[in-house]
A and B are shown apart, each in its own frame.
Chain A
Amino acid sequence: MKTKTNIFLIILLCLSIVVVSTSCSSGVDKPSSEGAENNEGDVIVDYPNRIITIVVPYAPGGTHDLLSRLLLPYFEKRGYKMIVQNITSGGGEAGLYEVVNGPNDGYTLVMFSPEVASCQYMTGALEHPFWRELKYLGNFVLDPSIVMVKGDSPYNSLEELFEAAREKPGQLKWNCLGARGKNAFEAYNIFKETNTEFNYVPVDGIPTIKTNLLGGHTDVGMFQLSEGVELHKSGDIKILGVAAKERSVFLQDVPTFAEQGYDLYFGLTRCWAAPPETPQEICDLLTSVVKDVYDDPEAQEAMANMNAAAFWMEPDELKDFGEHWYAIYQEMDARIKKE
């Protein structure tokens, strides 16, 4: 009997040590609207005096994660030591909550796009309109959405595709990531503006969209440009249109939506933000360093090698971007609910 009690005690001891130590070091799991203490005064004199953590709420090796990691050396050259921490979960809420509820001393930043935050607030995944309060530090990349078909598909332009859809409403399959998220709303926005009706089939990952396209299990696919460049260059898929203001430098031969008669612009920003209560001086300092790295030709080249379109946006522009899309998402959501 003694061995049994021994074991239970040891198990209990070990587990409690682990649980207590890890919950102390990581932030609170539940979202709350209060933040940590606010350090005022001459914090800026001493900043930064230790490593800054960039929380990336997405899996390591993904496009968001890679962009952050790629840029770290350029910040280090300017005296800003940073590391990336991945806190993954679903659409990225866990990482965001972690940072928002954590310290505001400028040593923890998060990589979260305002338009994604506004979308998730609308769908209820986020409980608070964070995009209005986060202190953005400037935007690195604006990855436009692309619409594509299989390489040997009969459609060679957006118009041909939309014409075919108008002839057979609801028959052509459109694959996108997620049933009620940013991509879904963009897709429904397209349907509305082009007066077409596609069979919207949500899937769980971009690899699935790619295999579905290549295997003929879907007619159309839509995701971000950086993910599709390689397959387009090899001819396996055909990108029919880019939802950007100008032609992409990576796809010179592909016209934009605007060139084909549809004034539609969608993109995914890639930016860093500080938690809401971070002192403004620190945010301004960080923004200027971010801009400096952005302008660095080596950094620009690194981003270009990832097929990521560099696009600078000021912090206020990012906030407005999120607001602009919030309104559109609400409209699209109402439309989807009606169906």
Chain B
Amino acid sequence: MAGLHTLFEGLIQCIVDPVIIIYMVFGTLGGMIFGAIPGLTAALGVSLMLPFTFYMTPVQGIATLIGIYVGGISGGLVAAILINIPGTAASLVTCFDGHPMAKQGRAIEALSYGVTSSLIGGLFSGVALVLLAPQLVKIALLFGPWEYFAMGIVGLSIVVALSSENMIKGLMGAVFGLLLAMAGCDTINSIPRFTFGYWQLNPGFDTLATIMGLFVIPEVLMQVRNLDKEIIKTQIDMDKSLFPKLSMFKGRYKALSISAVMGTIIGIMPGVGQSTASLLAYNQVRTMSKHPEEFGKGNLEGVIASETANNAVCGGALIPMLSLGIPGDLVTAILMGGLTIHNINPGPLLFRDNIGIVGNVFASYILSCLIMFVLFMFLMRFFVKVLDVPMQYLLPMILMMCVIGTMTVNNRIFDSWIFLIIGVIGYLITSVGINLPPIVLGYILGNIIEMNFRTALVSFSGDVTTVFKRPISCSLLILALFLIIYPLLKDMTRKKKQQQIAGR
């Protein structure tokens, strides 16, 4: 119960210095706006704010940065649901089911569930952070290169499930995504691949530029193509209330809890990130659902899975940061910088030497989740008004924000060109019927799979069988095999039954 005590102390700090709450509210709001605009990310917001926190007290600074973090990760769902373009990479899976729901006139329902799921995911990982940080961090340490590789393979096996209609095209998409991930210098031999002689491509295609390119440009070009056709404008069911009801998750507790747990655990593992977590949670919920074929067409559980998991990652990422001084993702790395600037060194001794800061992080995180929820309830009407803007103005603005946003990652225009070029290629590919999810999957997971596979091989001197000798990686690979075979079998039996019925 030491954790609760620390949390309590952190909350007291906020009452003693109410300026903290004010900074947190503005931070969360700023983060939500950054998250909602495609092209701007939570990481950008946090790094922009970092120098300013130097002039605040450490507690105020951390509260602001965490507010931006939580707001930024949550904000992405707005654009994902309303215009099928993820506001941040964390919400890309929300597009799969969120936007079809909006097209069916269930936008407010999707937004409501999305925001509430974000809150629940955030609070769940917050509780895990407060109560179980030292124990949970040990789970992260169990994951070595083989385990990361196996986890990546589990993720890739989703492609089979997602491509039940056209396996060839799904696999083609995944392979294209994998190829995109291979660009750059590889970590084992430092040999440049697919860089075409551009030294700027040595680290590979910039992740934000690629993901935004794949989502934004095909969508924009497609919308432009369809503009003079009779398009059913996304109806906003304004008469429905955004506010959640207590019974809203009835029958969906499984989806909610699986996603929350998976998001938290994956958040603890450094370097994996929100997009992978939401992908894996989505797949898990889909596999265990009674109607997996509805996923991708507007199944509410898809939105729940994605948003719960991606917010749970934030709390999870704070666990190794506080317990060991190891950042869970890019934003937590910047957060650590924010602490160091105030002469606080994150590490295992943080709990001993500076428990006040730990309490502050606990309190800021949980309060930010709540503030995010409240802000969304009040401000969703304004976010939704975005759809009233005619497409011919909205689309160029989004493109512009993406160009600017991709440029700010490395402060150079090269990445914006990558955004445009990959976007055009993505448009050409999607217009022949290859869907986006497998491509994105291949791209995001490609790095994890390839890098860890080769690192593991070097580590174990080329012995591939060691992957089966380790319990975690072996069981994950078996799970992957199951996830590949099970949907195929289900599909086969379903088709057989249909044939039988038709034959009668």
In the complex, whether A59 has a CB less than 8 A from a CB of chain B is yes
B85 to chain A, nearest CB (A): 15
Q: For residue B143, which residue of chain A has the nearest CB?
A: A215
Contacts A1-B228, A202-B187, A204-B187; is A234 near B337 (CB within 8 Å)?
Answer: no
In the complex, whether B248 has a CB less than 8 A from a CB of chain A is no
Q: Can you list 10 A-B contacts (CB < 8 A)?
A: A11-B395, A60-B47, A60-B334, A87-B412, A211-B324, A212-B144, A216-B141, A231-B348, A234-B349, A305-B343
In the complex, whether B200 has a CB less than 8 A from a CB of chain A is yes
A94 touching B324, Cβ below 8 Å = no
Of B140, B337, B410, which one neighbours A94 at CB under 8 angstroms? B410
Q: For residue B400, which residue of chain A has the nearest CB?
A: A14
Contacts A18-B404, A90-B203; is A10 near B392 (CB within 8 Å)?
Answer: yes
In the complex, whether B287 has a CB less than 8 A from a CB of chain A is no
A22 touching B407, Cβ below 8 Å = yes
**B47 contacts across to A, CB distance below 8 A:** 59-61, 86
In the complex the two chains form, what is the Cα distance from A23 to B407 in whole Å? Answer: 10
A139 to chain B, nearest CB (A): 20
B400 touching A15, Cβ below 8 Å = yes
B40 to chain A, nearest CB (A): 14
User: What are the interface flags for A35-68 relative to B under an 8 Å C-beta threshold, 1 for contact and 0 otherwise?
Assistant: 0000000000000000000000001111001100
Contacts A217-B144, A302-B343; is A61 near B337 (CB within 8 Å)?
Answer: yes
In the complex, whether B131 has a CB less than 8 A from a CB of chain A is no
A231 touching B451, Cβ below 8 Å = no
A73 to chain B, nearest CB (A): 8
Of A1, A22, A89, A229, which one neighbours B410 at CB under 8 angstroms? A89
Please provide the chain A residues from 3 to 46 with a CB less than 8 Å away from any CB of chain B in the complex.
3-4, 6-8, 10-11, 13-15, 18-19, 22-23, 26, 29, 31
User: What are the interface flags for B48-74 relative to A under an 8 Å C-beta threshold, 1 for contact and 0 otherwise?
Assistant: 001100100000000000000000000
**A66 contacts across to B, CB distance below 8 A:** 337, 340-341
Of A11, A212, A233, A234, which one neighbours B396 at CB under 8 angstroms? A11
Besides the known contacts A1-B228, A88-B410, A179-B186, 12 further A-B residue pairs in the complex with CB atoms under 8 A apart: A10-B392, A15-B403, A22-B413, A26-B412, A61-B335, A87-B410, A199-B458, A203-B187, A211-B140, A211-B141, A216-B141, A306-B345
**B145 contacts across to A, CB distance below 8 A:** 217
In the complex, whether B409 has a CB less than 8 A from a CB of chain A is yes
In the complex, whether A108 has a CB less than 8 A from a CB of chain B is no
B392 touching A62, Cβ below 8 Å = no
In the complex, whether A319 has a CB less than 8 A from a CB of chain B is no
**B340 contacts across to A, CB distance below 8 A:** 61, 66, 306
In the complex the two chains form, what is the Cα distance from A12 to B399 in whole Å? Answer: 10
* Chain A residues bordering chain B, tally (CB within 8 A): 74
B393 touching A10, Cβ below 8 Å = yes
B404 to chain A, nearest CB (A): 6
User: What are the interface flags for B324-339 relative to A under an 8 Å C-beta threshold, 1 for contact and 0 otherwise?
Assistant: 1111001001111110
Please provide the chain A residues from 222 to 246 with a CB less than 8 Å away from any CB of chain B in the complex.
229-231, 233-234, 236
Closest 6 CB pairs of A and B: A61-B337, A230-B347, A217-B144, A215-B141, A234-B348, A61-B334
A89 touching B412, Cβ below 8 Å = yes
**A23 contacts across to B, CB distance below 8 A:** 413
B429 to chain A, nearest CB (A): 21
B291 to chain A, nearest CB (A): 38
A173 touching B459, Cβ below 8 Å = yes
B144 touching A215, Cβ below 8 Å = yes
User: Which of A's residues lie within 8 Å of B, judged by CB?
Assistant: 1, 3-4, 6-8, 10-11, 13-15, 18-19, 22-23, 26, 29, 31, 59-62, 65-66, 69-70, 84-91, 93-94, 98, 123, 125, 127, 170-171, 173, 178-181, 199-205, 207-208, 210-212, 214-218, 229-231, 233-234, 236, 302, 305-307
**B224 contacts across to A, CB distance below 8 A:** 4, 7-8
**A307 contacts across to B, CB distance below 8 A:** 345
Q: For residue A184, which residue of chain B has the nearest CB?
A: B190
A7 touching B337, Cβ below 8 Å = no
A7 touching B227, Cβ below 8 Å = yes
B455 touching A19, Cβ below 8 Å = no
**B395 contacts across to A, CB distance below 8 A:** 7, 11
A94 touching B187, Cβ below 8 Å = no
B480 to chain A, nearest CB (A): 21
In the complex, whether B170 has a CB less than 8 A from a CB of chain A is no
In the complex the two chains form, what is the Cα distance from A302 to B345 in whole Å? Answer: 12
**B349 contacts across to A, CB distance below 8 A:** 230, 233-234
B190 touching A179, Cβ below 8 Å = yes
**B203 contacts across to A, CB distance below 8 A:** 89-90
Contacts A66-B340, A199-B461; is A179 near B187 (CB within 8 Å)?
Answer: yes
User: What are the interface flags for B179-191 relative to A under an 8 Å C-beta threshold, 1 for contact and 0 otherwise?
Assistant: 0000001111110
Contacts A61-B336, A305-B343; is A18 near B410 (CB within 8 Å)?
Answer: no
**A69 contacts across to B, CB distance below 8 A:** 51, 54, 341
B202 to chain A, nearest CB (A): 5
B411 touching A61, Cβ below 8 Å = no
Please provide the chain B residues from 126 to 158 with a CB less than 8 Å away from any CB of chain A in the complex.
140-145
B270 touching A211, Cβ below 8 Å = yes
**B190 contacts across to A, CB distance below 8 A:** 123, 178-181
Which of A89, A94, A233, A302 counts the most B-chain CB atoms under 10 A from its CB? Answer: A89
User: What are the interface flags for B408-422 relative to A under an 8 Å C-beta threshold, 1 for contact and 0 otherwise?
Assistant: 011111101000100
Please provide the chain B residues from 294 to 352 with a CB less than 8 Å away from any CB of chain A in the complex.
320, 324-327, 330, 333-338, 340-341, 343, 345-349
B324 touching A236, Cβ below 8 Å = yes
In the complex the two chains form, what is the Cα distance from A90 to B205 in whole Å? Answer: 11
**B227 contacts across to A, CB distance below 8 A:** 3-4, 7
In the complex, whether B199 has a CB less than 8 A from a CB of chain A is yes
**B200 contacts across to A, CB distance below 8 A:** 29, 89, 94
A19 touching B416, Cβ below 8 Å = yes
A62 touching B51, Cβ below 8 Å = no
In the complex the two chains form, what is the Cα distance from A199 to B188 in whole Å? Answer: 13
**B271 contacts across to A, CB distance below 8 A:** 204-205, 207-208
**A15 contacts across to B, CB distance below 8 A:** 396, 399-400, 403, 420
A82 to chain B, nearest CB (A): 12
Contacts A18-B404, A231-B347, A306-B340; is A7 near B396 (CB within 8 Å)?
Answer: yes
A29 touching B412, Cβ below 8 Å = yes
In the complex, whether B425 has a CB less than 8 A from a CB of chain A is no
